[in-house]
A = this chain, B = another copy of it.
Amino acid sequence: MKRIIIDMDEVMCDTMGAMVAWYEKEYGLDVDYTKMKGSWQLGFPEQHKMIIHERLFSRGFFRNLAVMDGCVEVIKQLNERYEVFIVSAAMEFPNSLNDKLDWLNEHLPFLTWRQVVFCGDKRMIEGDYMIDDHTRNLVHFKGKPYLYSTVHNAAETGYERINNWKEVAEIFL
């Protein structure tokens, strides 16, 4: 069985979307999507960057993120044909760990705790395929990497892209 490594933020869950919606409602200011190259946090006004950072550290933020369209159904099918591991670089945000585990248990109850990995760096992760929105995670991967498209990686070249979960299904199912 081939092993597929799947990232959470910006791949399974709409982390940026939740932060943008909260910020625009709370502060009545727009984020600048043209400044998000490399990290969506860069699109927030300078004077509020610390607030965004603090929110990432707060309990609950990662618990209520929206699921990306089609993600649950496709992973459910992948789980029957592949060895699926959900690998999230969550360690920077200690309060996200249980939120992320609870989120997975709610939305993808067919996965078990054996299939979840929380780390800081992904260079020690081995598999046949990796789907991730950060090239810093894909660059060390020895299997086939797929860049999951999102605003912050729009300018990246050099990786085969996946734009949505319909495409994940087309490639892997």
A160 CB within 8 Å of chain B: no
Contact B125 A124 (CB under 8 A): yes
Q: Chain A's interface: helix, strand, loop or mixed, by majority?
A: mixed
Check: A126 CB closer than 8 A to any chain B CB: yes
Q: How far is the CB of A83 from chain B (nearest CB, A)?
A: 8
Report B-chain residues with C-beta under 8 Å of the C-beta of A34: none
A46-71 residues with Cβ-Cβ distance < 8 A to B are none
Kindly identify, within residues 107 to 149 of chain A, every residue whose CB is under 8 Å from any CB belonging to chain B.
112-121, 124-127, 142
Task: Please tell me if the beta carbons of B116 and A117 are within 8 angstroms of each other in the complex.
Answer: no
What would be 19 A-B contacts, judged by CB atoms less than 8 Å apart? A3-B124, A5-B124, A85-B124, A91-B101, A91-B114, A92-B113, A94-B101, A97-B97, A97-B118, A112-B120, A114-B120, A114-B121, A115-B121, A116-B119, A117-B117, A117-B118, A124-B125, A124-B126, A126-B142
A binding-site residues for B, Cβ under 8 Å: 3, 5, 85, 87, 91-92, 94, 97-98, 101, 112-121, 124-127, 142
Given contacts A91-B101, A114-B121, 11 further A-B contacts (CB under 8 A): A87-B124, A91-B117, A91-B118, A97-B98, A98-B98, A112-B120, A114-B120, A117-B124, A119-B119, A124-B126, A125-B126
